[in-house]
Amino acid sequence: MNYQDNYNRITRINPSIPAYSVQRNLENPNILEFFGGAVGQDGFGQWGYSNWNKLYLDGGLDWADSFGLHNLSVLFLGKASKYYMPWDSNNTNTPSGVIGLVGRVTYNYNECYLLEVNMGYNGTEQFRKGKRFGYFPAYSAGWVPTNEKFFPKNQWISFAKIRASYGEVGNDLLGNDRRYLYLPNTYLLEQGGYWWGNTGNTASDYYQGVAEGTLGNPNVTWEKVKKTDAGIELKLFTDRLSVTYDYFSETRNDILTTLGIIPGIYGVESWKVPPANVGKTSNKGYEIVMGWADRIRKFGYSIEGNLSYSKNKIIYRAEAPNPYYWMNQTGFSIGQRFGLKSDGLFNTVEELANRPYNNYTSNKATLGDIRYVDLNGDGIINNEDVAPIGYPNFPQYAYGIKVRLDYKGLDVSALFSGTANGSYYINPGLSMPYYKYAGNAWQWEYDGRWTPEKYAAGETSTYPRAIFNPTPSENNFLTSDYWMFSNDYFKLKNMEIGYTVPANRKVMKQAGISSLRIYVNGNNLVTFRNAMRKLGIDPETTDGSTYIYPLTRVFNMGFNIQF
């Protein structure tokens, strides 16, 4: 049993400081000009949050035994939790509770035939009676042929294992701001009213009305995930070569989804329509790990490489019908960014004159601006030309290489890592120079900017014409693939050099030290491939923010000592 209780009391003092407006000097942008400097009142406030408390209970029985070559274990576990946080508006002043039962049975025969069965029965107060409990089983089986009597002992294949598993998982944390989605419709009080009678000249004759609010969905229930995995493990050449391969597939059903297929004639605003368990996604991929380790007298070495691939897809999300497939999120990956397709820059007056009409900018454009593709060929750039651009921010491929060498107490290890098929979107806060009259201009913006002289000289421009104090609604800063960069990289992620002092040294014995290792290591040492290097952005960071984290190198030195 575990119980937690917490109470917060906060005091905040806001001393007033001068407030200035700032802009760059129009004649010399390196000079910042400040205006204002008014000082307001100091602020003071105190408040306390009501108690939140959490109670967690669990108990279980575990049994294991062997009968000759048969090994059997059984586990039964019950758990329950109650969480109360009255100051959270989503809690509606009621506790949140979860209860569940878990059972597991494992069996193996001579470490050759392996079987495991798991059963979960969980309940939550998020759903109505009859929908609150879900059953989620899982099964796995394995076979180790090298433990069979008929398998010959040899130096080529010393270990082999084939395994597969299937399991189901439930999710009751639906990520919606509302709790109790299953409750009947809500109503909004004190809405627009009416005058009763013919006088209509006093407040007592006026009656406020009631409007229908958010609709309820009594059928909301668990989101369900079905996971399948199959793999093989091998050790070859007297355990020096190891190979592991896994293929996985995941299907997520009954995802709570906002319905976009309700027509306007239904008479209810879209925000009042309750979400429903209709969404469906899939995720498939594989992972392979190969390693070689050996020792030649006092010299030891090992190398291991890994590669993983994962691709997900939205199968259904109740979208409103669109005239073109590229406008739908269904069929594309989760996290796929959508925007306009770019086709270079306007370099000539003829290109400007023949451009399609841009609804987003009232067709404002000039030389050096980004040129967009009219996907459907109707002569207009609008929402029907918005399509998937680039890859999602999370790469599809990830790979790595680990190397280790050791000789007479000296050891060297290195980790290389990389990704492929990922994209990073530069939002307007980063792509616009001199934003709000005071922002900076990046070096890559200055070097790559379009000018008539560059075009006449046949030089390539990687940035549109420079604009002072641009806005996100201008032609060059609409969401498009022009601002999508590959975040693929390959780097020396970590390297460490260490030395372990032999324990039989006289000085070690005199000091009573049983073990001493001295080391130095570094992180993010060398990046061999990274298209975002010129932007100064770490390719491993998440996009979408104006604030970026630059590439940094970190060095450490230390020692481990045991007495």
Beta bridge partners of 62: 75
* pLDDT reading at 495 higher than 90: yes
Q: What's the whole-number mean pLDDT along residues 308-323? A: 93
CA distances to 402, 467, 548 from 528, in Å: 16, 33, 21
At residue 341, the pLDDT reads: 97
At residue 294, the pLDDT reads: 95
Q: Comparing 191 with 145, which gets the higher pLDDT?
A: 145
Maximum C-alpha span of the chain: 110
* pLDDT reading at 89 higher than 60: no
- 153 contacts 160 by C-beta, under 8 angstroms: no
Q: What is the distance between the alpha carbons of residues 14 and 498, in angstroms, rounded to a whole number? A: 50
Q: What is the distance between the alpha carbons of residues 454 and 460, in angstroms, rounded to a whole number? A: 7
At residue 203, the pLDDT reads: 54
Q: What is the mean pLDDT of the chain?
A: 89
At residue 505, the pLDDT reads: 77
Write down the domain spans for the chain: 338-562
* pLDDT reading at 54 higher than 90: no
Nearest 5 degrees, angle CA 92-CA 97-CA 100?
A: 160
Q: What is the DSSP letter of 408?
A: T
CA distances to 169, 182, 259, 269, 333 from 275, in Å: 21, 10, 6, 13, 21
The backbone torsions φ and ψ at residue 248, rounded to the nearest 5 degrees and listed phi first, read -130, 150
Q: What's the whole-number mean pLDDT along residues 295-317? A: 95
Q: Which of 167-171, 197-201, 372-376 has the lowest mean pLDDT?
A: 197-201
- 191 contacts 210 by C-beta, under 8 angstroms: yes
Beta bridge partners of 159: 235
Q: What is the distance between the alpha carbons of residues 421 and 284, in angstroms, rounded to a whole number? A: 15
Q: What is the DSSP letter of 64?
A: E
Going by C-alpha positions, the residue among 403, 410, 401 that lies closest to residue 299 is: 410
Report residue 464 as tokens: 């549109």
Over residues 424-436, the pLDDT tens digits come to 999 888 888 877 6
Over residues 114-131, the pLDDT tens digits come to 999 999 999 998 899 999
Q: What's the whole-number mean pLDDT along residues 391-400? A: 96
At residue 551, the pLDDT reads: 77
Q: What is the distance between the alpha carbons of residues 483 and 487, in angstroms, rounded to a whole number? A: 12
Nearest 5 degrees, angle CA 309-CA 339-CA 272?
A: 95
At residue 197, the pLDDT reads: 65
